[in-house]
């Protein structure tokens, strides 16, 4: 039986155990992560936490009670200690309380959607690189000619990797560069990212790598989440000079070759944006499809 459990009554230990045992084991589903991105979230729970689904309430257009994918997550949906069946997923979606007039959820890639007849399903692209059983040589062999050429250019500059910067350094690079082109990103979005990064570092499930030029100026950086063998590129930023010197190519190559054989998979967390997709595919990334489910009433 699937039941609604209010936030105060969620058995956090049982919840996190289910996320940990799920085949995807996505860090977005852990209770501490949900507390940051969707404070006061509720849950749908099947039997004794055999399967779970977070409910992340928001007001659509600031008026209508809805459940919407929170900023800072890519995929949520149903997590289970065993494989999720199509019937179980359908049952979970039917159990979303009727008071939520609009649903806009990103199901995870392991959620089978063939029995969903209501609402609209939109395929979304994620890009992954298999790291398990690999090494630096095998990883680089998958790079496109263009990526190899850009990496060779980047390696000619006297850039230095740095591992102990505060997340604010990365956010500052982004806000002073790409962020100026994205006015829809407000302070609350940056505050959420900042909190995710600081808490993940504290929990030893996140780390930041920045790249400095010869004048000791930060020109690019990446923040990663790592849980259950999955390395997720959560956030990146670069300056104009970083773009010119292919700093992000150098940083991604650095992490891929360092993690080869030590982690299971590298997750680019997207993208459906054509330019970003080409950039990620240049490292040999393979497509994984997950679905965005939208439904009124």
| Predicted confidence (pLDDT) per residue in 191-249, tens digit | 999 999 999 999 999 999 999 999 999 999 999 999 999 999 999 999 999 999 999 99
Structural domain includes residue 150 = yes
First to last CA, the chain: 22
As a whole-number percent, the residues of the chain with pLDDT over 70 amount to: 100
Is there a contact between 93 and 259 (Cβ–Cβ < 8 Å)? no
Tell me how far apart the alpha carbons of residues 140 and 228 are, in angstroms, rounded to a whole number. Answer: 24
Which domain, by its residues, includes 278? 127-289
Spatial CB neighbours of 135, under 8 Å, sequence gap ≥ 6:
260, 261
167 inside domain: yes
CATH number at residue 266: 3.40.630.30
Domain count, the chain: 2
pLDDT mean over 264-273:
96
What's the pTM value of the predicted model, to 2 decimals?
A: 0.96
Distance CA 290, CA 294 (A): 13
- Based on the fold, state whether residues 199 and 169 are members of the same structural domain: yes
> Is the bond into 226 cis (omega within 30 degrees of 0)?
no
Q: What is the pLDDT of residues 55-77, one digit of tens each?
A: 999 999 889 999 999 999 999 99
Give the tens place of pLDDT for each residue, 207-216: 999 999 999 9
- Tell me the C-alpha distance between 55 and 68, whole Å: 8
Looking at the fold, whether 138 and 273 belong to one and the same domain comes out as yes
């Amino acid at each position: 039986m699937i039941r609604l459990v209010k936030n105060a009554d969620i058995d956090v230990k049982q919840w996190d155990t289910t996320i940990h045992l799920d085949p995807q084991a996505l860090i977005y589903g852990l209770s501490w992560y949900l507390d940051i991105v969707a404070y006061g979230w509720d849950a749908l729970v099947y039997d004794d936490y055999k399967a779970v689904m977070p409910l992340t309430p928001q007001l659509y257009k600031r008026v209508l009670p809805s459940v919407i994918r929170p900023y800072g997550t890519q995929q949520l949906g149903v997590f289970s200690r065993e494989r999720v069946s199509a019937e179980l997923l359908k049952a979970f979606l039917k159990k979303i309380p009727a008071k939520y007039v609009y649903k806009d959820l990103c199901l995870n890639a392991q959620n089978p959607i063939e029995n969903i007849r209501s609402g609209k399903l939109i395929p979304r692209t994620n890009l992954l690189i298999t790291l398990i059983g690999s090494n630096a040589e095998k990883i680089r062999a998958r790079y496109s000619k263009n990526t190899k050429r850009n990496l060779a250019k980047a390696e000619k500059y006297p850039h230095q990797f740095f591992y102990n910067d505060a997340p604010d350094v990365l956010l500052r690079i982004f806000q002073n560069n790409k962020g100026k082109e994205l006015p829809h990103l407000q302070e609350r979005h940056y505050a959420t990212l900042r909190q995710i990064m600081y808490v993940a570092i504290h929990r030893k499930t996140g780390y930041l790598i920045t790249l400095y030029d010869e004048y000791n100026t930060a020109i690019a950086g990446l923040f990663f989440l790592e849980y259950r063998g999955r390395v997720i590129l959560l956030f990146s930023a670069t300056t104009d000079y970083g773009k010119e010197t292919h700093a992000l190519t150098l940083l991604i190559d650095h992490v891929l070759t360092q993690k080869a054989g030590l982690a299971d998979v590298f997750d680019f967390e997207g993208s459906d944006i054509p330019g970003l997709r080409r950039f990620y595919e240049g490292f040999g990334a393979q497509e994984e499809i997950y679905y965005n489910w939208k439904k009124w009433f």
